[in-house]
């Protein structure tokens, strides 16, 4: 006899629970029984207006998917200098907000644009904070006034709701730059009838970025000192914007199921693991989706030739075009490897540097597109000179070139030390570019080890503690490349995966309902 628990949920409220011994099964009657929600999506970056990584993609694609499900979704972000370069119409709304930052009141102007015809995007303009190169820093490092900048933005989000007369059911906050919003809702705005029915959801896109600042910034945020405690925003003597969200948000999410478990451990918890374990009851892992309207080789206008599972001829044309563009000398049978990544220790770049000579001994070529730590940039620039025919490093991030590299390559390398979700491997799968990854976080959730005998799986996975096996794992993949039928099957396995945002959006809608049911 199988013992299990069935929990039926309607509008976030448990209607019946049968307790037995072994398995818990949740059957949700959402979203069709739930009313459409007013959702404000607050993020420090949103593609195509401002982007440094996957957060920008998520902050565009998820609101669009939620809108398709019938919710009233609006997006808000700072009006950075780069917003003006996005080639999207932005217009002033004639509305202002006044935000106290320490002893002064800082004005902000609201502007409006669109993600598409149906999803409004609001921009909080304050040139003293946001009219500069870079979102969070420049070549010299992080901006020294980031605490003031995102104190201002977090409170401006709430003031903007009033100015717009938009009462959100849910404010969905993303990463430490919006971490004070849940805290404000439970403290400074707790008695504000405008937000009486508003709940907050906070998404951890990367726990390594925490927004920890000197305690002197607490008065600048106009937060009471009684929140600067172990149970509040204090973190090893610092005022932590991230911890403010972990403590005060009604629901917490991460961007993959595996990562939601990893961050509860000291190994991946960045010293926040004890806080997260304390709030584990409100933590969920929801895998990010891939935006197939932007990333699909069958419709991609950025690439040389379009292709899909029914005909892969266009991929070879993309490879030849990329080789010409980058002046690589490739024989037709030579596999091309790629990385499209931020150059940081998290992304496993140290492993690439340490094993680079071994890697270049293989009969393959390699392209890396990325920017980040100067030491890595300098190393790869030197390799450009050492391997001019088989290696190319392009410094920076170029959206169109990223598409061309993924379409024109045979394998994608992602040796990340940790990876909350990762989107690049999802894009690579759709483009028939086989991922070789470390088995962590979202990489473990999206890539399954290829078994050539059974013709199952989509890529190659490195055990987290087996760095010495990185080049042998790549060689294992390269040894399969000449076996055309086997390689074709591997490509098609990946191309048939579906990580669209539709399913993820449904999970978020159910999460929002549970947040609304909380007190």
Q: Which residues of the chain have pLDDT under 70?
A: 1-34, 519
CA angle, corner 356, sides to 354 and 361, nearest 5? Answer: 135
Q: Residue 10's pLDDT is what?
A: 39
Domains of the chain: 31-289+502-517 (3.40.50.2000), 313-499 (3.40.50.2000)
Measuring CA to CA, how many Å separate 17 from each of 201, 308, 356, 441?
Answer: 25, 46, 56, 31
Helix axes 54-68 and 501-517, enclosed angle (nearest 10): 80
In tens, the pLDDT along 396-439 reads 989 999 999 999 999 999 999 999 999 999 999 999 999 999 99
- In this prediction, residue 85 carries a pLDDT of 82
Q: Which residues contact 38 (CB under 8 A, 6 or more apart)?
A: 71, 72, 166, 167, 168, 169, 170
Return the pLDDT at 34. Answer: 65
The tokens of 236 are what? Answer: 């090893």
What are the counts of helices (DSSP H) followed by strands (DSSP E) for the chain? Answer: 18, 23
- Could you give the CA distance from residue 246 to residue 234 in angstroms, rounded to a whole number? 12
Per the listing, tokens 């976080």 go with: 441
By the 8 A CB rule, do 488 and 481 touch?
Answer: no
Q: What is the DSSP string of 191-252?
A: T-GGGTT-EEEEEES-TT---EE-TTHHHHTT--GGG-STTTTEETTEEEHHHHHHHH-SEE
Q: What are residue 151's phi and psi, to 5 degrees?
A: -65, -50
Q: b vs e for 369-395, b when ≥16 Cβ sit within 10 Å of the residue's Cβ?
A: bbbbbeebbebbeebeeebeebbbbbb
Phi/psi of residue 231, each to 5°? Answer: -85, -5
The answer to whether the CB of 168 falls within 8 A of the CB of 185 is no
So what's the pLDDT on residue 460? 98
Q: How far apart are CA 183 and CA 198, in angstroms?
A: 13
């Amino acid at each position: 006899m199988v013992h299990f628990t069935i929990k039926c949920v309607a509008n976030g409220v448990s209607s019946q629970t049968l307790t037995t011994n072994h398995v818990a099964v949740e059957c949700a009657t959402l979203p069709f029984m739930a009313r459409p929600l007013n959702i404000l999506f607050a993020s420090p970056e949103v593609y195509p207006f401002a982007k440094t990584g996957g957060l920008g993609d998520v902050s565009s694609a998820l609101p669009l998917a939620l809108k398709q499900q019938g919710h009233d979704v609006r997006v808000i972000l700072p009006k950075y200098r780069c917003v003006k370069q996005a080639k999207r119409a932005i217009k002033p709304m004639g509305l202002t907000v006044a935000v106290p930052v320490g002893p002064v009141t800082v004005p902000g102007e609201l502007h409006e644009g669109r993600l598409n015809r149906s999803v409004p995007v609001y921009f909080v303009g304050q040139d003293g904070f946001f009219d500069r190169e870079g979102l969070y820093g420049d070549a010299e490092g992080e901006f020294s006034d980031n605490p003031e900048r995102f104190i201002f933005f977090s409170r401006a989000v709430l003031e903007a709701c009033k100015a717009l007369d938009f009462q959100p059911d849910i404010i969905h906050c993303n990463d430490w730059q919006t971490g004070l919003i849940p805290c404000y809702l439970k403290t400074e705005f707790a008695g504000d009838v405008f937000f009486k029915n508003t709940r907050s959801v906070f998404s951890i896109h990367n726990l390594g970025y925490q927004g920890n600042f000197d305690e002197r910034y607490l008065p600048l945020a106009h937060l009471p000192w009684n929140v600067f405690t172990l149970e509040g925003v204090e973190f090893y003597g610092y005022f932590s914007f991230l911890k403010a969200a972990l403590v005060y948000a009604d629901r917490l999410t991460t961007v993959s199921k595996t990562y939601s478990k990893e961050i509860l451990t000291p190994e991946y918890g960045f010293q926040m693991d004890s806080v997260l374990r304390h709030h584990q009851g409100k933590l969920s892992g929801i895998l990010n989706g891939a935006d197939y309207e932007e990333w699909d080789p069958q419709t991609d206008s950025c690439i040389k030739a379009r292709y899909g599972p029914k005909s892969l001829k266009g991929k070879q044309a993309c490879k030849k075009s990329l080789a010409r563009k980058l002046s690589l000398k490739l024989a037709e049978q030579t596999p091309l490897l790629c990385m499209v990544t931020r150059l940081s220790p998290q992304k496993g770049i140290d492993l690439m540097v340490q094993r680079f000579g071994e890697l270049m001994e293989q009969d393959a070529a390699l392209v890396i597109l990325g920017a980040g730590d100067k030491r890595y940039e300098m190393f790869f620039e030197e390799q450009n000179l050492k391997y001019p025919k088989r290696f190319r490093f392009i410094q920076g991030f170029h959206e169109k070139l990223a598409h061309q590299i993924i379409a024109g390559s045979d394998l994608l390398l992602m040796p990340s030390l940790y990876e909350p979700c990762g989107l690049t491997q999802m894009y690579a799968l759709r483009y028939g570019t086989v991922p070789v990854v470390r088995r962590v976080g979202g990489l473990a959730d999206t890539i399954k080890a290829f078994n050539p005998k059974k013709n199952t799986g989509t890529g190659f996975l490195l055990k987290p503690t087996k760095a010495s096996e990185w080049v042998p794992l790549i060689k294992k993949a390269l040894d399969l490349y000449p076996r055309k039928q086997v390689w074709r099957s591997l490509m098609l396995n990946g191309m048939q995966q579906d990580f669209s945002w539709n399913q993820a959006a449904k999970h978020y809608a159910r999460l929002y309902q549970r947040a609304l049911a909380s007190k």
